[in-house]
Amino acid sequence: HRLAMYGVIEPEDNYPNLTNDKSALAQCLTKEIYTKLYWNKTSSGYTIDEAMQIGVDCEDHDVGFFLGDYECIEVFESLLGPILDTIHPFFDYRDKNVQHMGSLKIIKFDGTQTLKDFVIEYAFHLRRNLRGYSLPPHCTRAERREINKILIYILKQLQFDPTFPNIQFVDTKFAKKTDKNGKRNSKSGATMPMSNGATPAAADRHHQIDEKKDVTTSEDTSSKTSPSSISSKLENRESKVVDLVGIDDATLTELEEIGLAPSREASLTPEFLIGGLSRDFPDARTLFFNEKAMVGAWTNHENHLEMIIQHSRPDLNYVYKKFVDIYIQFRRILKRKEMAWIRHRRLGIVTTSPKHFGTGLTIQCSIRAPFLAAHAKLTRILRKRSLELKTNADDILNLETIHTLGRSEWQIAKDLGNALIDLSRMEKALAKNKPIDQII
């Protein structure tokens, strides 16, 4: 029981005031649900009040709920289920027969090759958490430090080939016509070809990764970077690890500017402080970057691992293949270490915010669209295409995909490609002073 100086605190006396909240929590929480969950806690001690504190104190937070560990899914299901149904339209949590299915299909996104003058860049944002540890809002200092060491080791194993990425797209006609025995099968899909003899679909379902071409162990060691050496280190085109403890402003600023480090302001916002994500900052926080490959990662942020995969070439097919290559490398390394990401049998990848359940992947892109930027229905246009606007400045729109649960990795990228084709058509029509109602 929760005790106060005057006795036991009853749930009806502790119910939060969410009158001005805009979060999914405010839409889903009722006194009945709160009373039911009030006395519950996970085996690590995480309570419903801790989980929803971010929503109580941050009125503009979109979800209003942070997980503290894996058990939150079952312990707080009465509230988490309705939240998931509210924020993930492609997934019906109430239907127990429905489960999230990931897919790493390698099929070209038709039409995106024509967007080179419209799209400035793409960035794949991947979120992951290690199984067996509490999530950032609730982990101990010891857990955070151990997680940091493990992730640094894993990140150092990633290999960036000069011909990267070397994964080839599957011929879509062949993929649709043949099954694993070469027989015609109109339902078969094209996924990343494996060289270990497994069928592509089976390899993806059962994680049968080719271990013959294993990645080698890197002998790089962690290093602290000074402002005078950051430029030369970037020119070395090698993977580097930078400890945030004692890092100087010039180094961090340059990494932020090239998009390979999170903003310091974001790490110390009210949301991060209230949600428990900034505890002991910057202890056990590390930046990893490879300037040539345009890959950056950071540890113990909103999730154990956050990774950005970019490329200067505005080619969705190319960046997607790059993402798949790194994704498969992660899986091989974890398998060798007998470790895994936190994953739920129905909900896929588990993240601190339920917003990113499923794939843990969002794709950001920047487009040059002065006419759309000034359009009154811009928010509606983007929402209909599962996109949200991050920034709108100097005629450049920075967009990010929204839905991660009920959509596979390949579907997210395909949806983005289709949306960008629509947006490009709208921009061209507006430039000629033509209506876009039919495209909308």
By DSSP bridging, strand 343-344 and strand 348-349 are: antiparallel
Position 233 scores a pLDDT of: 41
CB atoms closer than 10 angstroms to residue 407 = 26
Position 349 scores a pLDDT of: 97
By DSSP bridging, strand 348-349 and strand 119-128 are: unpaired
Say if residues 51 and 67 touch (Cβ distance below 8 Å): yes
Q: Outline where 140-215 has alpha helix (H).
A: 141-157, 172-177, 200-206
Strand partners, 309: 124, 295
Residue whose C-alpha is closest to residue 314's, from 17, 40, 109, 79: 109
- Taking the chain (440 residues) in runs of 10, the rounded mean pLDDT of each run is 64 93 95 96 97 94 97 98 96 91 83 86 95 97 97 91 53 39 35 32 33 32 39 51 76 74 75 92 89 88 94 84 92 94 96 98 96 95 96 94 95 95 95 90
DSSP one-letter code for 356:
G
Determine the residue type at 285.
Answer: R
Strand partners, 305: 128, 299
Position 3 scores a pLDDT of: 57
Read off the tokens for 335: 């398998």
Say if residues 196 and 203 touch (Cβ distance below 8 Å): yes
Position 239 scores a pLDDT of: 80
CB atoms closer than 10 angstroms to residue 233 = 17
Return the ∠ at Cα 235 (arms to 230 and 239), rounded to 5°: 80
Determine the residue type at 248.
Answer: D
Say if residues 29 and 78 touch (Cβ distance below 8 Å): no
Sign of CA dihedral 419, 422, 426, 428: positive
Position 280 scores a pLDDT of: 92
In sequence order, which residues have a C-beta less than 8 Å from that of residue 235 and are 6 or more positions away? 291
Query: Which value, to the nearest 10 degrees, does the dihedral of the CA atoms of residues 128, 246, 159, 321 take?
Result: 50
| Cα separation, 273 vs 61, whole angstroms | 13
| Cα separation, 387 vs 204, whole angstroms | 27
In sequence order, which residues have a C-beta less than 8 Å from that of residue 218 and are 6 or more positions away? 156, 157, 239
Whether the bond into 200 is cis, omega within 30 of 0: no
Backbone angles phi and psi of 109, in degrees to 5:
-90, 100
3-state SS track over 199-238: CHHHHHHHCCCCCCCCCCCCCCCCCCCCCCCHHHHHHCCC
Tell the burial category of 344 from Cβ atoms under 10 Å away from its Cβ (0-12, 13-18, 19+): middle
What pTM, to 2 d.p., does this model score?
Answer: 0.81
| Cα separation, 181 vs 145, whole angstroms | 48
Q: Outline where 31-140 has alpha helix (H).
A: 31-37, 48-57, 72-75, 77-87
CB atoms closer than 10 angstroms to residue 338 = 6
Tell the burial category of 133 from Cβ atoms under 10 Å away from its Cβ (0-12, 13-18, 19+): buried
Position 246 scores a pLDDT of: 67
Say if residues 38 and 11 touch (Cβ distance below 8 Å): yes
